[in-house]
Amino acid sequence: MEYVKMTEGIEFSRVVLGFWRLHDWKLSTDQLIRFLEECLDLGITTMDHADIYGDYTVEELFGDSLRKRPDLRSRMQIITKCGIVYKSETARVKYYNYSKDYIMGQVEKSLNYMGTDYIDCLLLHRPSPFMDPEVVSAAFEQLHQSGKVKSFGVSNFLPNEFRMLKSYLKVPMVTNQIELSPLNMTNLENGVLNQCLEERIHPMIWSPLAGGRIFTEQSEVAIRLRETLEEIRQEIGAEDIDEVAFAWLFSHPAKPIPITGSGEIELASRPVKALKYKLTQEQWFMIWTAVKGHKVP
């Protein structure tokens, strides 16, 4: 396994385990513990959460495992996110809340749910047109000084949104968690990846296989992509085309950190296996060309 230094004292594994679909895995607490042990043994040490996952229930399910096996906590880094408020009996619409009280309160809930006294990295889940960056800065600074949060970042932020928030912060942002896959290159083209290189930070990648569409979508683009992935798979000796798709991400100079959302160890190990493959620039652009349907300018 490769590890990436995010900031002083904090390294993330190059493959992250995501818990958005934890309920779909249908694992008992003991089964989840065994799965976590298998992932940790593979070198997957970074765990990605959000307060809203599973309608605000996933963090507590994960915490049940840590309460039963507290020794596992020292072997992992925990990421969580806050800021999205779902429509409910107490909220008339879905909205974003980045008030200091809300950020501080959600961190306390996450700490309690997951049975830990610190979070390795807290992300703001979505940019908000109503965000007060001075308020966010005050919350981050207090959380950092208290030791409850070791580092900070954002998710789904565009470069201008990232720069604006950064200009107010006294603590650095260490990542931007974004969507990226061969079937969705938006953040490759809108300046987000370039900004990560400029800032010397490593982006985390959600939906690296386009939610499975790489395998199932029947559009002309997806079919061309699969044919190209298969051609490259044969060239590099990979087991399946998903390893080629992960290798396409790993090969980018920004050193993206993809999130795998599978509860099966065989599938969770696929991106780990892909780390041994380094695509040539020609192979990388073969995938780009297959998706775009035309050569580079």
Residues annotated as part of the active site: 53
Phi, psi of 48 (to 5 degrees): -105, 125
- Give the chain's length: 297
Strand 46-48 relative to strand 77-82, pairing: parallel
Distance CA 246, CA 250 (A): 6
Beta-carbon contacts of 264 under 8 Å, excluding residues fewer than 6 positions away, are none
Token pair for 37: 């042990």
Residue in the structure block whose two tokens are 């969580």 = 80
**CA 201 to chain CA centroid, nearest Å:** 14
Distance CA 176, CA 205 (A): 9
H/E segment holding residue 58 = helix 58-68
